[in-house]
Amino acid sequence: MRLFLDTANIDEIRRAARMGVVSGVTTNPTLIAKEGGVSYRQRVLEIAEVVDGPISAECITRTTDEIVEEGLGLASWHPNVVVKVPLDEAGLAAIHRLSAQDVRINTTLIFSVNQALLAAEAGASYVSPFVGRLDDIGEDGIGLVREIAEVFDRYHLPCQVLAASLRHPRHVTEAAKAGAHVATLPFNVLLQMLKHPLTDSGIERFLADYERVFGQRTPAS
């Protein structure tokens, strides 16, 4: 399972890229709005300098013609741009037209297997089931990821399952076990994945044991 970062914050993306674990970035209107008015295009181009992988940029128009025009514009920003389209009737028709023009699509706000099937049939490259938001209303977000992955696998659909709206590290583990091709993570979830109290206490103990015998630490040579 590949890991994408779910943020439009360039400092977070730079830090995560330095760790060598991020192979793409997803953004949405909420995330870009948090960046204090920076131009969406400028931010996507900054991200493209840091991460060599798919960068999802989301359409904000609502009719099919508008989404197609906007999507072509977003895709022209950089070859790594994947156009994010919310799933409704207008969005589905736009996905069909854009994918026919070789624009890669990430279909967002997926909450059912049927929505995922429709997006895949229309030609989307990714579907994004929103795990946390389903959990919020008492449903099983990871269960949806598993069902979509099973159906896509059974029918050899080329569309990838991108688990989104992940809120904590357990979601990431469960998304991997459920067969997601990609998990997109808020930066704080990536940092939480690194952490284990036994790792921290183990490092302290190794260093204390070494210093007790050898005194000041100097790198082994």
Give catalytic residue positions.
84
Please give the size of the binding site for ligand G3P, defined by CB under 6 A: 10
3-state helix, strand, coil in the chain (%, to 5): 50, 15, 30
CB-wise, 53 or 132, nearer to ligand G3P?
Answer: 132
Instruction: Rule CB under 6 A: choose which of 9, 28, 64, 106 binds ligand G3P.
Output: 28
Tell me the HSE value of 131 on the side-chain side, using a 13 A CA sphere: 29
Q: How far apart are CA 78 and CA 82, in angstroms?
A: 9
Instruction: Rule CB under 6 A: choose which of 130, 144, 147, 172 binds ligand G3P.
Output: 130
Mark the segment that binds ligand G3P (CB under 6 A) among 42-50, 67-75, 163-171, 210-218: 163-171
Mark the segment that binds ligand G3P (CB under 6 A) among 59-67, 80-88, 164-172, 201-209: 164-172
Q: How far apart are CA 45 and CA 42, in angstroms?
A: 5
Min dist. Cβ of residue 82 to ligand G3P (A)? 13
User: Contacts with ligand G3P in 5-24 (CB under 6 A)?
Assistant: 6
Distance between start and end Cα atoms, the chain: 37
Instruction: Of 22, 94, 89, 82, give the one whose Cα is nearest residue 55.
Output: 82
Instruction: Classify each residue of 132-163 as buried b or exposed e, where b means 16 or more C-beta atoms within 10 Å of its C-beta.
Output: eebbeeeeebbebbbbbbebbeeeebebbbbb
Min dist. Cβ of residue 148 to ligand G3P (A)? 15
Min dist. Cβ of residue 187 to ligand G3P (A)? 12
Per CB under 6 A, does 164 bind ligand G3P?
yes
Per CB under 6 A, does 165 bind ligand G3P?
yes
Sites of contact with ligand G3P (CB under 6 A): 6, 26, 28, 130, 132-133, 164-165, 167, 184
